[in-house]
Amino acid sequence: MASVELGEDYPEIRESVRRICADFPNEYWRKMDETEAYPKEFVDALTKAGYLGALIPEEYGGAGLPLRAAGVVLEECHGAGCYAAAAHAQMYTMGSVLRHGSPEQKQKYLPGIASGKLRLQAFGVTEPTTGTDTTKLKTRAVRDGDHYVITGQKVWTSRALHSDLMLLLARTTPLDQVKKKTEGLSVFLVDIRECLGKGLEIRPLKAMINHHATEVFMDGMRVPAANLVGGEGKGFRCILDGMNAERILVSHESIGDARWFIRSASKYATERVVFDRPIGQNQGIQFPIARAYASMQGAEMMLRKAAALFQAGLPCGEDANVAKLLASEASWEAAEACMQTHGGFGYAREYHVERRWREARISRIAPISTNLILAYIAEHVLDMPRSY
Ligand SMILES: Cc1cc2nc3c(=O)[nH]c(=O)nc-3n(C[C@H](O)[C@H](O)[C@H](O)COP(=O)(O)OP(=O)(O)OC[C@H]3O[C@@H](n4cnc5c(N)ncnc54)[C@H](O)[C@@H]3O)c2cc1C
Task: Give the model's pLDDT for residue 221.
Answer: 98
111 shares a domain with 37: yes
Question: Residue 92 — pLDDT band, cuts 50, 70, 90?
Answer: confident
Q: Where is the domain boundary, 183, 201, 236? A: 236
Q: What is the pTM of this model?
A: 0.96
What is the CB neighbour count within 10 angstroms for residue 31?
11
Given a cut of 90, whether residue 86 has pLDDT beyond it is no
Distance (Å) from CA 128 to ligand 1 centroid:
10
Task: Return the pLDDT at 1.
Answer: 75
DSSP secondary structure letters along 231-300: -TTBHHHHHHTTHHHHHHHHHHHHHHHHHHHHHHHHHHHHH-EETTEEGGGSHHHHHHHHHHHHHHHHHH
- Using the 3D structure, point to which of 115, 130, 162 is the last residue of a domain: 115
Looking at residue 113, what is its pLDDT?
Answer: 94
Same domain, 210 and 339: no
User: What's the one-letter identity of residue 228?
Assistant: L
Q: What total number of domains does the chain contain? A: 3
The vertex-219 CA angle with 194 and 170, nearest 5°, equals 85
Q: What is the pLDDT of residue 253?
A: 98
Mean pLDDT throughout 333-344?
A: 98
Is 90 exceeded by the pLDDT of residue 240? Answer: no
In contact, 143 and 172? CB cutoff 8 Å: yes
pLDDT over 90 (residue 260): yes
DSSP-assigned letters across all residues of 350-362: GG-HHHHHHHHHG
Average pLDDT (125-150) is 97
Ligand 1 pocket (Cβ < 6 Å) reads: 123-126, 131-132, 156-158, 207, 211, 213, 362, 365-369, 371-372, 375, 387-388
Band of pLDDT at residue 388, cut at 50, 70 and 90: confident
- Residue 5 in any domain: the answer is no
The yes-or-no verdict on residue 333 having pLDDT over 90 is yes
Residues 277 and 299 in one domain: yes
Question: Both 92 and 110 in a single domain?
Answer: yes
Give the tens place of pLDDT for each residue, 22-54: 999 999 999 999 999 999 999 999 999 999 999
Phi, psi angles (nearest 5°) of residue 259: -60, -45
The arithmetic mean of pLDDT across residues 112-117, rounded, is 93
Average pLDDT of the chain is 96
Q: Could you tell me which of 259, 239, 230 has the C-alpha nearest to residue 134?
A: 239
386 in a structural domain: no
Q: Is the pLDDT of residue 241 over 90?
A: no
Give the model's confidence band at 137: pLDDT under 50 very low, under 70 low, under 90 confident, else very high.
very high
CA–CA separation, 135 and 112 (whole Å): 31
Average pLDDT rounded to a whole number, residues 300-306: 98
52 and 19 in a common domain: yes
For the ranges 4-8, 218-222, 277-281, which has the lowest average pLDDT? 4-8
Q: Determine which residue's CA is closest to atom 26 belonging to ligand 1.
A: 131
150 and 190 both lie in a single domain = yes
Does residue 2 lie within any of the structural domains?
no
CATH number at residue 226: 2.40.110.10
The reply to whether 387 falls in a domain is: no
* Same domain for 362 and 244: yes
Domain identity same for 83 and 197 = no
Output the CA 376–ligand 1 centroid distance in Å.
15
* Ligand 1, atom nearest to 374 Cα: 43
- Give pairs for 275-280: CB < 8 Å, separation 24+: 279/341, 280/341
Q: Domain range for residue 92?
A: 11-115
| Claim to verify: residue 103 and residue 190 sit in the same structural domain | no
3-state secondary structure of 116: coil
Percentage of residues of the chain with pLDDT beyond 90: 94
CATH code for the domain of 286 = 1.20.140.10
Mean pLDDT score, 70-93: 94
